[in-house]
């Protein structure tokens, strides 16, 4: 059972990455991947190459996922969702699901 590794979209608060890392989760941010300002398609290519589930607050990724494109998983929360709720939701997904469960799957927080 492979654990989920997350990739955080550029609109996600830095506190989310810190909170997940403090809990032992493997997280990569857009800045760390050197993809600031990249197209959504480039982000999808990156998560596929690293087998990372993308966490986003940008509904463009929901549209891309709905087109049937293969992806390692998308987790979405609306803008203005509190950081505490995001971290607890991502930790629940991390604790209950594995990477295979998230393949081509979308979860909503």
| Residue 108: per-residue pLDDT | 95
Of the candidates 109, 2, 15, the residue with the CA atom closest to the CA atom of residue 52: 2
Predicted TM-score (pTM) of the model is: 0.93
* 3 state SS of 8: strand
- Which whole-number Å values give the CA distances from 107 to 14, 42, 93, in the listed order? 21, 21, 8
Task: List the chain domain ranges.
Answer: 6-108
- Are residues 24 and 5 in contact, defined by beta-carbon separation less than 8 angstroms? no
Given a cut of 80, whether residue 68 has pLDDT beyond it is no
pLDDT at 88: 98
């Amino acid at each position: 059972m492979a654990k989920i590794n997350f990739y955080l979209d550029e609109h996600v608060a830095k506190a989310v990455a810190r909170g997940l890392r403090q809990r032992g989760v493997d997280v990569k941010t857009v800045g760390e991947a050197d993809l600031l300002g990249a197209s959504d398609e480039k982000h999808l290519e990156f998560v596929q190459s690293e087998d990372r589930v993308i966490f986003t607050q940008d509904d463009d990724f929901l549209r891309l996922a709905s087109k049937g494109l293969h992806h390692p998983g998308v987790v979405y929360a609306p803008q203005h969702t509190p950081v505490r709720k995001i971290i607890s939701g991502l930790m629940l997904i991390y604790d209950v699901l594995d990477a295979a469960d998230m393949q081509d799957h979308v979860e909503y927080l």
